[in-house]
Every structure is written in C-alpha cells, then in structure tokens.
Structure 1
C-alpha cells in the first residue's frame, strides 16, 4: 500500500497536466480551422510543432540554467501536458485517411510537417532554452 500512496501525487500531477494539455489541444482543434479556413489537418501540425518546440525549449532551459524543477513539475509538464497536447496518434490516423483518399500531396505535406518540422522545432527550442539559461 505504501508504494500506491507514494505514486498518488505523481499520478495527480500527470492527470492535471494531461487535462490541461488535452483541453488546450481541443481548443486548437476547434478554433484553428475557423481562423485559417483550411481543410488541411493544420491543428495537428500546429500542436505537434508547438509541443516539440516547447519540449526542446523547456528541457534545455532547465538543463543549462540554475532553474530546478521538481520531479512533480517535470511529470506535470512533459508527461501530462505535452503528452496530452501533442497528437502523434491523430497524425498517424490522418495520414492513413489521406492515403486512403489518394491525396498524395496533402499526405506528403502532412508527413513532412509533422516529422521534419517537428524535429527542427525541438532543436530550435533546445537552442533557445540554452540561450535563455545564459549559456
């Protein structure tokens, strides 16, 4: 029972971060198409790019600064918030649907944006995190 109680606070931190990440993801999904007027699955690309950027930025900022995050804060942000905010499963399903529709241009753009651009974002975010830390 002690190990179960020991995991209660970390579980709650992940759950709270996940609830906020999922809610943020929902609002991006609802409003971005209204703003852009696009039928392209841009909301998935957007949350994956922003999520990758934030992962790189915050991780490298913490690593290269005097900033100390508790294990609970790390779980809240990385596992909870970013885990629920980013949507790789949605990306995969949308890719399958574009493939089934035979929309090769959208499929290619979708894969490129979510794979290549997200990798670029995590590196740029990491570089900026180091700069913010003063290194």
Structure 2
C-alpha cells in the first residue's frame, strides 16, 4: 500500500512539474530549437539516469521513477530501451524503439484522421 501511495504521489508531483515547467518555458520563449516536450523528455530521462545511477533505496527509487514518469513517460521508455541494450538484446531493443515510436505516431495519426 505504501508503494502505491508513493507511485501516485510521485506521478502527481511529476505531472504538475511538467505542466508548470512547460508553461514557464512557453512564457519565457526559451524553446527555440526543440519543442518544450522534447526538452522535458531529455531532462526527465537524464534525471532518471542520475537517480538510478545513485542506487537509491527501493522506496526512494520507486518515488523517483514515478515522479519522473509523471514528469515524462519518455524517461521510462529510455530506461526500458537501455535495459534491452544492456542485456545485449539488440533486436528486442531496436524493435521496442521502432514499435513504440512508429506505433505511437500511427495511433495518433489514425485518430486525428478519423476526427478530421
């Protein structure tokens, strides 16, 4: 039950930070070369790498992963892709990345086309 609470709390905090930071970046017109979401994805993935690299306790790691997962699900995507590469499962890693990106774009595009 404690773990579920930490995941929920971390996800909610991460989503609030993502929203607030996104609004601040738009307001300050900081995002020139890449989109706000791309910036958030890069920051979130980097922070997840730092958090996991520090070998935090399980409960703190769970909170961190859920916080950064709420901040950007791309950080979790990066972690999963890294795990395939680390296990030297090259085909699975490549398929995972390709299916995730192409599948997401296709799903989004099909829905948009349906509603247009």
Shorter-chain-normalised TM-score: which range? 0.5 to 0.7
Q: Structure 2 vs 1, CA of residues 34 and 40 (structure 1 numbering), >3 Å: closer, same or farther?
A: farther
Q: Which residue of 1 aligns with 2:68?
A: 82
Alignment of 1:42-121 (within 5 A): 42-62=35-55, 69-78=56-65, 80-88=66-74
Structure 1's unaligned 5+ residue stretches are 1-7, 63-68, 101-135
Identify which of structures 1 and 2 has the higher relative contact order when contacts are C-alpha pairs closer than 8 Å and 6+ apart: 1
Give the alignment's TM-score, normalised by structure 1: 0.50
Give the length in aligned residue pairs. 80
Q: Which residue of 1 aligns with 2:13?
A: 20
Structure 1 vs Structure 2 CA RMSD: 2.8
Question: Structure 1 residue 37: deviation in Å?
Answer: 6.5
Once the two structures are superposed, what CA deviation does each residue of 1:37-82 show, in whole Å capped at 9, x if it has no partner? 66887220111010111111121232xxxxxx3321111101x101
Contact 1:33 1:39 in 2 (8 A): no
> Greater CA radius of gyration, 1 or 2?
1
Give the alignment's TM-score, normalised by structure 2: 0.57
How far, CA to CA, are the matches of 1:37 and 1:71 in structure 2?
A: 36
